[in-house]
Structure 1
Amino acid sequence: MNGLIAMPSIQAPAAVVMVRPHRFTPNSETAADNAFQSLAAKEAAQAVGGAAHREVTAAVERLEAEGVRVHLFEDQGDRDTPDSVFPNNWFSTHPGGHVAIYPMHAPSRRRERRADVIEMLKSRYRVQDVIDYSGLEQDGLFLEGTGAMVFDHLARVAYTARSNRADPVALERFSTHFNFEPMLFDTADEAGRPIYHTNVLMCVATEFAMVGFDMVPDQRRAAELRARLQESGREVIALSARQIADFAGNAIELSGRDGRILALSQRALESLTAQQKTTIQRSARLIPLSVPTIEMAGGSVRCMIAGIHLSLRGA
């Protein structure tokens, strides 16, 4: 960043919600459509759960050391919520005091929604309204938060990969209420399966974006995605299918004490090329977090972090 501190950005929240798991395990209920997931059949559940608990603890400490405000919640272990470590899927926050609660595809994931998280947001931040879309589950309509949608808060675009976790009807309803332009597109991995969540495919930061264009089979649509990102003034970094598999797209830009940072996993960092790292570091410092156990569940650092795009009370 040439010695300069990057200015704060509404794209890069300074506060986040994270959940420390107590009974973490890859979720067999979500494995059917999550090709990034690997079941830990040969490892004791207790060992896997303990490792995940330690990984979240270390990640929180690292982010707090960088000056990010972390609201850490403990997993409610009696509710059978193996994916609770990924809170970004069930709620999102937005500038102006708006909060959304989302319909989740897997029944086990619906139990992750917590009133205490919403109450904390209301007590610590300026919340004007909470719109709850979870009733759409009864109609078979799902939209899994900032997993299903990758937001450009600056240009007001909701990039969304079509899947059974991102229904176009639910997306249209959300976009109308929250004033986003929906940009829906189809994806496919090497086996022709849709990518389960958009946020493993792309990351939109303030001055750059990382996208796995090779996994968008319609080349015209891929070109439209690239053009839309470039129109917003961002430098676009193309990620390979191998880098996507290593969770390079599952990163999140945050505002720390000394400027903007890009939080990503150690595995993701190691998959990036020198040129890609240079591009990122023009505007954000790379902060790798070691989360190999959590990545067994098919998500990485971005999935673990729910950004708070709200104003603090009294600020």
Structure 2
Amino acid sequence: MPTQTTSNILMIRPANFGFNPETAANNFYQKKDSRNPQQINKLARKEFDGFVGLLEEKGVNVLVVDDTDEPKKSDAIFPNNWFSTHEDGKVILYPMFSSNRRQERRTDIFEILMKKGFKISDIVDLTFFENDDQYLEGTGSLILDRVCKVAYACRSQRTHPVPLAYFGRIMEFEIIEFDATQVVNEVISPVYHTNVMMHIGSEIAVVCLDSITLASEKLKVQEYLEKTGKKMIPITAKQKFQFAGNMLEIKNSEGGKLTVMSDAAYQSLGQVQVQTIQRYTDIVVPHIATIEKLGGGSARCMMAEIFLPLV
């Protein structure tokens, strides 16, 4: 029986975290910073270590892997975009928009997982889609309801329909795809990753319905969330820009449910929204302001869930 959450999380401790101009082309959550690279990386590592410590205090098994110094990878702290793991032992490698982010893919990480007792039965490599400029950036692009075998995805320059359909076929997931937009500097642009506007836990779904362009697609998302028994918690476009959609539900070693979100996301929520989440899970709030500002990603992006079976 598949499960929605895991207590095993892999995180990459940054060696050269910083602003990536290549990804900033369509990630409008990134902001430049005047501090020097050494200061920025030092702050990011401090935030990262604080985040890991917070999860460990809550009883989560965090496997920390240090980023390699070379080649320099400013976004290695966000491993969820290049791989995902599954309960049948599959690991999927994903095609990525930014050429400099493709250097983050490391087979030695899978060797580390196997040494820790996890079983990998198959590595499914979808990176060949990069040859045709087709992308699907892991659980940034895909919001997986693992129990109901449904994948939600907003189409963008990082989430293309062909690799999306391919994922659905090989993993036997039903695909619910839609267009989602946002207004940046008075210009309408696509939401670059689904996981900034949507989160699915075991019992709740946090979603910025206002971002979904077509009424028919919005209705379909709502219908599927209701059909799969999720308690919907709508968020506004303003809350989305504070990473309120970028949450992840995990569990601790005793099975207790935890919803992880950044301090910025938490502060943006209203009292009723917070209370609704707390009805189903505890809330864990790391402070990751530097990582959010320069990286344009938040708490969910930093955690790669390990669903692999144990040997």
Once residues 232 and 66 of structure 2 are traced to their aligned partners in structure 1, the CA distance between those partners, rounded to angstroms, is 37
Once residues 243 and 312 of structure 1 are traced to their aligned partners in structure 2, the CA distance between those partners, rounded to angstroms, is 38
2:225 is the counterpart of 1:229: yes
What amino acid does structure 1 have at the position aligned with 2:264?
A: R
Is the Cα contact below 8 Å between 1:28 and 1:39 reproduced in 2? no
Give ranges in structure 1 of 5+ residues lacking alignment.
1-7
Give ranges in structure 2 of 5+ residues lacking alignment.
none
Please, which of 166, 175, 179 is the counterpart of residue 173 of structure 1? Answer: 166
What amino acid does structure 1 have at the position aligned with 2:150?
A: V
Following superposition of structure 1 onto structure 2, how do residues 44-55 of structure 1 map, counting pairs within 5 Å?
Answer: 44-55=36-47
Please, which of 181, 203, 206 is the counterpart of residue 202 of structure 2? Answer: 206
Once residues 235 and 215 of structure 2 are traced to their aligned partners in structure 1, the CA distance between those partners, rounded to angstroms, is 15
Is the Cα contact below 8 Å between 1:100 and 1:131 reproduced in 2? yes
Is the Cα contact below 8 Å between 1:22 and 1:50 reproduced in 2? no
Partner of 1:138: 131
Once residues 31 and 105 of structure 2 are traced to their aligned partners in structure 1, the CA distance between those partners, rounded to angstroms, is 24
Specify the SS of the correspondent of 2:280.
coil
Once residues 284 and 312 of structure 1 are traced to their aligned partners in structure 2, the CA distance between those partners, rounded to angstroms, is 26
Once residues 186 and 122 of structure 1 are traced to their aligned partners in structure 2, the CA distance between those partners, rounded to angstroms, is 38
Partner of 1:182: 175
Please, which of 277, 281, 285 is the counterpart of residue 280 of structure 1? Answer: 277
* Percent of pairs with identical residues: 37
What amino acid does structure 1 have at the position aligned with 2:197?
A: L
Once residues 169 and 221 of structure 1 are traced to their aligned partners in structure 2, the CA distance between those partners, rounded to angstroms, is 18
Please, which of 113, 118, 122 is the counterpart of residue 114 of structure 2? Answer: 122
User: What's the CA shift for 1:283?
Assistant: 1.4
Is the Cα contact below 8 Å between 1:92 and 1:307 reproduced in 2? yes
Please, which of 288, 293, 308 is the counterpart of residue 291 of structure 1? Answer: 288
Specify the SS of the correspondent of 1:236.
strand
The TM-score with structure 1 as length reference comes to 0.94
Partner of 2:57: 65
2:240 is the counterpart of 1:244: yes
Is the Cα contact below 8 Å between 1:33 and 1:196 reproduced in 2? yes
The TM-score with structure 2 as length reference comes to 0.96
Aligned-residue Cα RMSD (Å) equals 1.3
Once residues 312 and 271 of structure 1 are traced to their aligned partners in structure 2, the CA distance between those partners, rounded to angstroms, is 38
Is the Cα contact below 8 Å between 1:86 and 1:303 reproduced in 2? yes
For these two proteins, the number of residue pairs brought into alignment is: 305
Once residues 109 and 103 of structure 1 are traced to their aligned partners in structure 2, the CA distance between those partners, rounded to angstroms, is 10
User: What's the CA shift for 1:312?
Assistant: 2.0
Partner of 2:79: 87
Specify the SS of the correspondent of 1:177.
helix
Partner of 2:310: 312
Please, which of 127, 143, 148 is the counterpart of residue 150 of structure 1? Answer: 143
Please, which of 21, 30, 34 is the counterpart of residue 27 of structure 2? Answer: 34
2:8 is the counterpart of 1:15: yes
User: What's the CA shift for 1:189?
Assistant: 0.3
Partner of 1:4: none
Is the Cα contact below 8 Å between 2:85 and 2:307 reproduced in 1? yes
What amino acid does structure 2 have at the position aligned with 1:277?
A: V
Once residues 276 and 219 of structure 1 are traced to their aligned partners in structure 2, the CA distance between those partners, rounded to angstroms, is 24
What amino acid does structure 2 have at the position aligned with 1:177?
A: I
After TM superposition, the runs of 4+ consecutive aligned structure 1 residues lying more than 3 A away are none
Partner of 1:105: 97
- Which shows bigger deviation, 123-132 or 59-68? 123-132
